[in-house]
């Protein structure tokens, strides 16, 4: 079969059963409940700490963002190890996105590093490296466009829904940052949108690992049982 010849996962073996699957797993419910709790706590904290203090560099919101991205990176890397074929590539892309966002969000200035390392991880040089990482990702997607055409059906699955929300929230955060959406205290609302975006990115990483547990054995790493 052509799907097996090119090392792809036949759609009817796992993806088709997930199309339109709107029944949330326990982990999805827990993550979503945690997201609601985080949002409520942030809004309740405004009168006590102020928006500026909550959204300050290396503040509680940014540190929570970094923790979410680090956890998403670890889970995506685990999926890269556990899965094969198309899902391994998808997991690698997820890990790459998590790493790029982590590199973008973390403030490395407080760390004891050589001057050249501080220069690479701050200011316009860091922004340039982030753009370069995104360009690499887009180039990879272009080279493997055949895979993404075959995998287009996956985008209707429950697995992909958090990624759509992640992209929408990040787009909203950028519009607030660039002044396309005018809000009072835009710095706080930008961070507010971004932390929610990273929650959904983390949710997608969890779901990817859960999906891997239901795959036929030949699509998982030999060490996974």
Residue 212 lies in a domain: yes
Domain residues for 66?
25-219
Residue 1 lies in a domain: no
CB 64 within 8 A of CB 195: yes
CB 110 within 8 A of CB 58: yes
- Per-residue pLDDT reduced to its tens digit, 20-30: 444 667 888 89
Residue from 96, 114, 98 nearest 106 by CA: 98
- Per-residue pLDDT reduced to its tens digit, 81-98: 877 766 777 788 888 889
Q: Which residues contact 87 (CB under 8 A, 6 or more apart)?
A: 9, 79, 208, 211, 212, 215, 219
Q: Which residues contact 185 (CB under 8 A, 6 or more apart)?
A: 51, 52, 55
Residue 19 lies in a domain: no
Alpha carbons 224 and 66: distance in angstroms, whole number: 29
Residue 167 lies in a domain: yes
Model pLDDT, residue 166: 92
- The total of structural domains in the chain comes to 1
Q: Which residues contact 84 (CB under 8 A, 6 or more apart)?
A: 7, 218, 219, 220, 221
Model pLDDT, residue 199: 95
Residue from 186, 135, 171, 159 nearest 9 by CA: 159
Handedness of CA 159, 132, 125, 117 (dihedral sign): positive
Residue 4 lies in a domain: no
**92 exposure class (CB count in 10 Å sphere: 0-12, 13-18, 19+):** middle
Residue 7 lies in a domain: no
CB 198 within 8 A of CB 69: yes
Residue from 119, 70, 121 nearest 98 by CA: 70
Average pLDDT of 125-154? 73
Would you say the pTM of this structure is higher than 0.85? no
Alpha carbons 2 and 126: distance in angstroms, whole number: 43
Residue 206 lies in a domain: yes
Residue 10 lies in a domain: no
Model pLDDT, residue 93: 81
Alpha carbons 85 and 117: distance in angstroms, whole number: 36
């Amino acid at each position: 079969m052509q799907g097996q010849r090119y090392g792809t996962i036949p759609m009817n073996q796992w993806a088709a059963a997930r199309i339109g699957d709107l029944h949330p797993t326990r982990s999805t419910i827990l993550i979503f409940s945690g997201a609601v709790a985080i949002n409520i706590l942030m809004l309740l904290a405004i009168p006590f700490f102020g928006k500026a203090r909550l959204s300050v560099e290396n503040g509680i919101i940014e540190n929570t963002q970094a923790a979410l991205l680090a956890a998403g990176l670890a889970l995506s890397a685990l999926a890269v190890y556990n899965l094969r074929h198309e899902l391994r590539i998808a997991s690698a892309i997820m890990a790459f996105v998590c790493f790029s966002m982590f590199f973008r969000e973390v403030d490395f200035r407080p760390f004891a590093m050589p001057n050249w390392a501080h220069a690479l991880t701050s200011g316009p040089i860091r922004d340039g490296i982030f753009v370069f990482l995104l360009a690499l990702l887009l180039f990879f997607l272009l080279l493997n466009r055949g895979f993404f055409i075959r995998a287009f059906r996956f985008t209707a699955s429950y697995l992909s829904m958090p990624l759509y929300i992640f992209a929408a929230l990040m787009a909203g955060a950028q519009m607030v940052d660039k002044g396309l959406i005018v809000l009072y205290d835009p710095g706080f609302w930008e961070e507010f949108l971004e932390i929610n975006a990273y929650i959904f990115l983390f949710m997608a990483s969890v779901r990817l690992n859960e999906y891997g547990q239901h795959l036929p054995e030949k699509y998982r790493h030999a060490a996974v049982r």
